[in-house]
């Protein structure tokens, strides 16, 4: 049986409804943690990619090549459909053509692209500016045509930052969202609503499926509330990033204060964790199985008289 494309599986998940909830990952490892937790899809955060890969903030300093490389690692590491942040498409409509090609080739199932000026910045910090709507629609059209030529099931999510941009408004954001849907986008993503009332208005006024980013200035809603509103997809982009950052900071402070004793305490505790066997999580058992299948029994003899973790 031919395996379905990731893009096809993502479309089916969205179509099943009522709300597909997808936490964000920033690396192949964090994506695998989400997979082990039982999620149906993963989302690659641009903020997390920038900070984890370069140590720099989400202000357009990460290149398309870096974003695509991270997306490729994530898509290869898990068996789940991946939605990836594509920032502004990394230029004008012509750049968007290559961006969509590269994301599709990397194994991504869908992307979102915004109407900010280039370089952009995180959608939940002040100082954002947007390009003219006509230019933004042209970029969406370029993405749609490229999708249709390469993978018609690839999911295009068109984002507008007009709600919180300099001189922007919710009215303008809704106008743009509907124009993007009319140009062929699959979902509309209005970044940064600041109240439940704004989210409700978006869900009433947008003439197609709504993608919701539950972070930053935007209200926290339950899955039941989002389902009642008809939200198609919701992401929590940086919860995993913040969790890792906090945990690493706390352990670093303990090791700075107590030296090796802190690491010893941590390891004693971590061994009881569901992912406490790091070598098993990393995949050494699979490597040993491959060796047995493809290298033969001769290759297995090295395990008999060597020291260390013994994969099953």
Catalytic residues: 43, 58, 85, 87, 112, 114, 122, 159, 191, 213
Half-sphere exposure of 16 (CA within 13 A, CB side): 9
Q: Where are the alpha helices (DSSP H) in 38-166?
A: 46-54, 64-77, 93-105, 133-150
Taking the C-alpha atoms of residue 14 and residue 202, their distance in angstroms, rounded to an integer, is: 19
Looking at residue 272, what DSSP letter applies? T
Exposed, middle or buried by CB within 10 Å (0-12, 13-18, 19+), for 68? buried
- Read off the DSSP letter of residue 109: S
CA 248 from centroid of its chain's CA atoms: 21
170 CB contacts (<8 Å, ≥6 apart)? 163, 190, 193, 198, 201, 202
Partner residues linked to 210 by β-bridges: 188
Q: Residue 31 CB: number of other CB atoms within 10 A?
A: 27
- Select from 121, 7, 114, 124 the least CA-distant residue to 61: 121
Environment class of residue 187 by beta-carbon count within 10 Å: exposed (0-12), middle (13-18) or buried (19+)?
buried
């Amino acid at each position: 049986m031919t395996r379905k494309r990731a893009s096809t599986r993502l479309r089916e998940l969205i179509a099943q409804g009522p709300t597909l909830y997808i936490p964000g990952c920033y690396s192949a490892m964090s994506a695998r943690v989400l997979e082990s937790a039982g999620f149906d899809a993963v989302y690659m955060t641009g903020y997390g990619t920038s900070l984890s890969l370069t140590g720099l903030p989400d202000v357009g300093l990460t290149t398309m090549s870096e974003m695509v490389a991270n997306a490729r690692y994530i898509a290869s590491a898990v068996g789940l459909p991946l939605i990836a942040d594509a920032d502004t498409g990394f230029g004008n409509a012509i750049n968007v053509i290559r961006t969509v090609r590269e994301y599709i080739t990397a194994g991504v199932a869908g992307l979102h692209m915004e109407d900010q000026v280039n370089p952009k910045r995180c959608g939940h910090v002040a100082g954002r500016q947007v390009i003219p709507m006509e230019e933004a629609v042209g970029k969406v059209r370029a993405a749609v045509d490229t999708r249709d030529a390469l993978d018609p099931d690839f999911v295009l999510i068109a984002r507008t930052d007009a709600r919180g941009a300099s001189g922007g408004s919710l009215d303008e954001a809704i106008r743009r969202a509907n124009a993007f849907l009319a140009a062929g986008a699959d979902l509309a993503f209005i970044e940064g609503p600041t109240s439940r009332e704004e989210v409700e208005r978006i869900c009433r006024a947008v003439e197609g499926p709504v993608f919701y980013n539950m972070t930053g200035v935007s209200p926290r809603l339950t899955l039941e509330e989002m389902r009642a509103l008809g939200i198609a997809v919701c992401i929590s982009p940086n919860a995993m990033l913040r969790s890792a950052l906090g945990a690493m900071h706390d352990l670093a402070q303990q090791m700075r204060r107590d030296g090796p004793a802190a690491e010893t305490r941590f390891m004693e505790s971590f061994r009881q964790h569901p992912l406490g066997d790091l070598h098993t999580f990393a995949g050494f058992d699979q490597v040993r199985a491959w060796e047995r299948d493809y290298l033969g029994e001769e290759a297995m003899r090295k395990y008999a008289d060597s020291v260390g973790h013994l994969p099953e």
